[in-house]
């Protein structure tokens, strides 16, 4: 076996080929072409169930899992999770549109965001979203104005910044001093905003929101965030008499990408137990009823449910090493460029072979850093071989980077119902569909050169 596998949905069949949920991935690539995203419906459901079970076991209050659609907004994926009971967390108007299009019930949509204008709040209130997370005072007053104009109550959480140290890549640490998100607790800014908010007529403040960052592999920062929120609730309750109905701890649960991490994934049960304990004991001490907890996982639900299949276009020997050129590129895997993300690679059609050489995987794009993976131990790879790039479900398709006009690949979903195309690939005509060449230019003749 080359490459290590992140979960039990993968196996190697009699022909030595990698399978997912029993489907031969080489056959799928043959039928649908490459590059191709393949998503497992079964794994999506199981990831959701694990989260729900963990909190059912450890928290006596209600726990809501809101899928952060920004991680992967393929509509069929949102739909599968919504059918299981997940809420949707949407950050922008277009994400809200997608959740609604996928049939998520508006009252199960949580609208977060960084700096919404009146039109966006109006759209959200008209759609009847369940909760709106407000980021800072200017937003609060805009929302009050719009809600008043529409004559509807806005159900609101206020986002606070606990200004912690968060152990992750600085690009994706949010609950840190100096970040653009939320109102600051330590300086007293957050308390002041709650005081303002509680005096409003149309904004009904129901709770507190925070989000500390992404790709966090340890439970401890979440426990610390929960603890800081309890401390803030004590202040809010003591000074303003506020009793939160919701406590939203955001998302950010990491997933294993490297083989050595597969054995020690993020411990959901430990998270549920420790966070529940902090909140339950804290609220008991304050004499408050247990809040509804909200979590907004994105990566944790989708990352390991989707893979990218890529064909080997060629093998290039250079004085400094061997490049395997794929028809996939860093366009499809922008986290490689943004946070130096590692993705595990498996040689699908020779999955039973042991590694024998060291290679780097390159995409066909016109820049030097279009390198997908460096110095990987693989069996001997030949042109035409098929590679599976694992755990690409989060922030790959939804953070597509466009270089060299490479069109977006299609996505198929695997389930007991068969292989279904759930997103077609982009065509060449899609790429130019928004362009107009003014007739005066199109009918002109070139200047003699």
Identify residues 355-394 at the interface with a second copy (CB under 8 A): 362-371, 383
Q: Which 3 state secondary structure label does DSSP give 33?
A: coil
DSSP state, residue 41 = H
Instruction: Pick the piece of the chain touching a second copy (CB under 8 A) from 20-28, 202-210, 309-317, 351-359.
Output: 309-317
Shortest distance, CB of residue 60 to a second copy, whole angstroms? Answer: 16
Shortest distance, CB of residue 274 to a second copy, whole angstroms? Answer: 24
Residue number with CB closer to a second copy (113 or 297): 113
Q: Which of 73, 253, 266, 283 binds a second copy (CB under 8 A)?
A: 73
Name the strand (E) or helix (H) holding 194.
helix 189-198
Shortest distance, CB of residue 143 to a second copy, whole angstroms? Answer: 12
Query: Left (φ > 0), alpha (ψ -120 to 50) or beta: where does 67 sit?
Result: beta
Residue number with CB closer to a second copy (5 or 396): 396
**Please, what sign has the CA dihedral across residues 234, 239, 245, 249?**
negative
Asked if 105 touches a second copy (CB under 8 A), the answer is: yes
Q: Which of 121, 136, 202, 295 binds a second copy (CB under 8 A)?
A: 136
Active-site choice (178, 241, 318, 366)? 366
Q: Which 3 state secondary structure label does DSSP give 177?
A: coil
Look at residues 140, 174, 138 and name the one whose alpha carbon lies nearest to residue 156.
140
Q: Which 3 state secondary structure label does DSSP give 115?
A: coil
Asked if 241 touches a second copy (CB under 8 A), the answer is: no
Shortest distance, CB of residue 314 to a second copy, whole angstroms? Answer: 4
Instruction: Pick the piece of the chain touching a second copy (CB under 8 A) from 11-19, 136-144, 197-205, 223-231.
Output: 136-144
Instruction: Pick the piece of the chain touching a second copy (CB under 8 A) from 236-244, 261-269, 274-282, 321-329.
Output: 321-329
Tokens of 182: 């939320």
Binding positions for a second copy, 138-167, rule CB under 8 A: 138-139
Q: Which of 11, 15, 83, 152 binds a second copy (CB under 8 A)?
A: 83
Shortest distance, CB of residue 286 to a second copy, whole angstroms? Answer: 27
Asked if 218 touches a second copy (CB under 8 A), the answer is: no
Look at residues 421, 345, 298, 413 and name the one whose alpha carbon lies nearest to residue 47.
298
Tokens of 342: 């590692």
Interface size with a second copy, residues (CB under 8 A): 116
Residue number with CB closer to a second copy (163 or 208): 163
Name the strand (E) or helix (H) holding 95.
helix 93-101
Binding positions for a second copy, 181-200, rule CB under 8 A: 181, 184, 186-187, 189
Q: Is 115 a catalytic site residue?
A: no
**Please, what sign has the CA dihedral across residues 328, 330, 335, 340?**
positive
Question: Regarding beta strands 345-347 and 109-111, do their DSSP bridges make them parallel or antiparallel, or are they unpaired?
Answer: unpaired
Neighbours of 370 (CB within 10 A): 19
Residue number with CB closer to a second copy (5 or 44): 44
Binding positions for a second copy, 426-445, rule CB under 8 A: 426, 428, 430-438, 440-442, 444-445
Look at residues 225, 425, 197 and name the one whose alpha carbon lies nearest to residue 308.
425
139-176 in b/e form (b: 16+ CB < 10 A) is bbebbbbbbeeeeeebbbbbbbbbbbebebeeebbbbb
Residue number with CB closer to a second copy (210 or 334): 334
Q: Which of 176, 217, 288, 290 binds a second copy (CB under 8 A)?
A: 176
Asked if 43 touches a second copy (CB under 8 A), the answer is: no
Look at residues 341, 345, 325 and name the one whose alpha carbon lies nearest to residue 396.
341
| Cα-trace Rg, the chain | 24
Tokens of 448: 């003699």
Asked if 55 touches a second copy (CB under 8 A), the answer is: no
Residue number with CB closer to a second copy (262 or 323): 323
Q: Which of 1, 179, 240, 290 binds a second copy (CB under 8 A)?
A: 179
Active site residues: 366
């Amino acid at each position: 076996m080359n490459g290590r596998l992140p979960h039990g949905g993968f196996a190697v069949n009699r022909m030595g080929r990698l399978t997912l949920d029993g489907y031969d991935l080489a056959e799928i690539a043959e039928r649908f072409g490459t590059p191709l995203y393949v998503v497992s419906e079964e794994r999506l459901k199981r990831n959701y169930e694990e989260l729900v079970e963990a909190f059912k076991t450890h928290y006596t209050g209600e726990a809501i899992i809101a899928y952060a659609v920004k991680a992967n907004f393929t509509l069929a994926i949102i739909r599968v999770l919504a059918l299981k009971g997940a809420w949707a967390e949407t950050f922008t108007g277009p994400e809200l549109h997608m959740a609604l299009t996928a049939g998520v019930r508006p009252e199960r949509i949580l609208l977060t965001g960084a700096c919404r204008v009146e039109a966006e709040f109006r759209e959200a209130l008209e759609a009847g979203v369940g909760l709106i997370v407000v980021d800072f005072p200017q937003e609060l007053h805009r929302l009050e104005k719009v809600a008043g104009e529409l004559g509807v109550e806005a159900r609101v959480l206020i986002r606070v910044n606990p200004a912690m140290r968060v152990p992750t890549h600085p690009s994706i640490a949010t609950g840190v001093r100096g970040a653009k998100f939320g109102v600051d607790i330590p300086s007293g800014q957050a308390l002041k905003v709650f005081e303002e908010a509680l005096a409003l007529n149309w904004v009904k403040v129901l709770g507190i929101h925070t989000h500390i960052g992404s790709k966090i592999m340890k439970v401890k920062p979440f426990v610390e965030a929960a603890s800081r929120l309890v401390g803030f609730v004590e202040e809010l309750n003591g000074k303003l008499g506020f009793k939160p109905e919701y406590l939203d701890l955001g998302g950010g649960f990491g997933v294993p990408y490297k083989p050595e991490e597969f054995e020690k994934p993020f411990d959901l049960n430990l998270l549920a137990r420790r966070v529940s304990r902090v909140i339950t004991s804290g609220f008991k001490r304050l004499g408050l009823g247990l809040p509804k907890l909200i979590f907004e996982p994105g990566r944790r639900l989708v990352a390991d449910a989707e893979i990218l299949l890529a064909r080997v276009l060629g093998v290039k020997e250079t004085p400094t090493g061997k490049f395997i050129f794929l028809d996939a590129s860093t366009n499809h895997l922008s986290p490689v460029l943004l946070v130096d993300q590692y993705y595990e690679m498996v040689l699908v059609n020779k999955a039973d072979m042991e590694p024998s050489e060291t290679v780097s995987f390159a995409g066909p794009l016109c820049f030097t850093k279009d390198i997908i993976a460096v110095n990987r131990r693989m069996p001997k790879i030949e042109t035409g071989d098929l590679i599976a790039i694992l755990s690409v479900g989060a922030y790959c398709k939804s953070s597509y980077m466009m270089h060299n006009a490479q069109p977006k690949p299609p996505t198929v979903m695997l389930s007991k119902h068969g292989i279904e195309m759930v997103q077609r690939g982009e065509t060449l005509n899609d790429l130019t569909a928004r362009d107009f060449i003014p007739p005066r230019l199109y009918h002109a003749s070139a200047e003699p050169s």
